[in-house]
Amino acid sequence: RVVVVGSTNLDLVVTTPQLPKPGETVLGENFRTVPGGKGANQAVAAARAGAACDFVGAVGDDDFGGQLRASLVGSGVDVRGLRTVPGASGVALIAVDRAAENFIVVAPGANAALTDLDADDRATITGADVLLLQLEVPLPTVVRAADWARAGGTTVVLNAAPAAPLPAELLDLVDVLVVNEHEAAIVAGVFADEPAELLDALLELVPRVVLTLGARGAAYADRRGLRLSIPAPVVEAVDTTAAGDAFTGAFAVGWAERGGALNEDTVTASLRWACAAGAACAQRPGASTALPERAAIDALHDA
Ligand code: ADP
């Protein structure tokens, strides 16, 4: 079982021939809404990858909140821990031009109100094999969830996104850190080109690190001296948005299915499967809509 404590946003996406300058109004083309937020995306990724998955989060009491809840339910995520709070749901205003250049403004809305984790949430967290966290809900909430997981023997996987330097009180509770190269540099405070250098710097902070490398796959290092380099399946990438969420969700599932044991075989298998999930996501256009089902992950994994 996997539990995510994190964010959910509705992405409000307009395509436009060109992005407006400050003060300018431009005529856009298509408008669509897409459920997003790193927390919800990773919960959907885990559920589609075949795990029982709980989501602990918050939506507003507006229409968007209902859409976000329905989207999670539709992907098979257990939403007993999803609160509805007064006010607006989290939204991301996104404009995208023809060169795929974008601007994005995120209003956290209800995500900022996720400060009231209770005994039910604690039971959900300690009943899971893996707790998956990101940094789009208040930091004290992330720390509390990680603390309960640690006390209850649940593995804590932190995807440090959006990238930020992390306080020691959180780092001390992380079992596995999952980052891309940009996030790695910010968390480590090191600007290195070599994955090995980033891994070394991060191992000073946490016991195990997964570094995602886009089309180059992923690298892993831990304090026992295990180092792995896992290639990604070769695919025609159409849109890599949410590939990181697909990877992280599948990694948590792979690990949970192997009982949370941390040895070379289980880590290698979980990472290979996660790379297949990331690659399957990159093959499809869209963000959360592109998160792959288990069959699609297995097909690439076994190819
Ligand atoms: P993020 O989306 O967070 O920046 P990455 O770009 O590193 O993360 O992608 C996450 C994972 O998705 C990679 O580790 C890889 O397994 C897979 N992936 C991403 N882009 C591609 C690609 N072009 N081809 C194959 N796999 C990809």
Q: Each residue of 120-151: pLDDT tens digit?
A: 999 999 999 999 999 999 999 999 999 999 99
The pLDDT value recorded for residue 175 is: 96
Binning pLDDT at 50, 70 and 90, where does residue 191 land?
A: confident
How many domains would you assign to the chain?
Answer: 1
Compute CA distances 114 → 61, 156, 257, whole Å. Answer: 14, 19, 29
- Whether 135 is covered by a domain: the verdict is yes
Cβ atoms of 115 and 138 within 8 Å: the answer is: yes
- Whether 31 is covered by a domain: the verdict is no
- Whether 263 is covered by a domain: the verdict is yes
Lookup: tokens for 264: 């070379």
- Whether 103 is covered by a domain: the verdict is no
| Residue-range definition of the domain harbouring residue 271 | 2-8+36-89+110-302
Tell me the CATH number at 264: 3.40.1190.20
Cβ atoms of 120 and 143 within 8 Å: the answer is: no
> Is 245 an active-site residue?
yes
Pairing of strands 176-180, 9-15: unpaired
**Annotated catalytic residue within 54, 78, 222, 245:** 245
* Helix, strand or coil, per DSSP, at residue 197: helix
pLDDT tens per residue across span 8-20: 999 999 999 999 9
Residue with tokens 């992390």: 166
Compute, in angstroms, the gap from residue 215 CA to the centroid of ligand 1. 5
The pLDDT value recorded for residue 109 is: 98
- Whether 247 is covered by a domain: the verdict is yes
User: 132, 182, 235, 247: which to mutate for ligand 1, most atoms within 8 A of CB?
Assistant: 247
User: What is the Cα–Cα distance from 218 to 24, expressed in whole angstroms?
Assistant: 42
- Whether 99 is covered by a domain: the verdict is no
Complex ipTM value: 0.98
Binning pLDDT at 50, 70 and 90, where does residue 260 land?
A: low
Residues with CB under 6 A from ligand 1: 180, 212-215, 217-218, 232, 235, 237, 240, 243-244, 247, 275, 278-279, 282
Which of 39, 96, 47, 87 lies closest to 65, judged by CA? Answer: 87
- Whether 23 is covered by a domain: the verdict is no
Q: pTM for the whole thing? A: 0.96
- Whether 29 is covered by a domain: the verdict is no
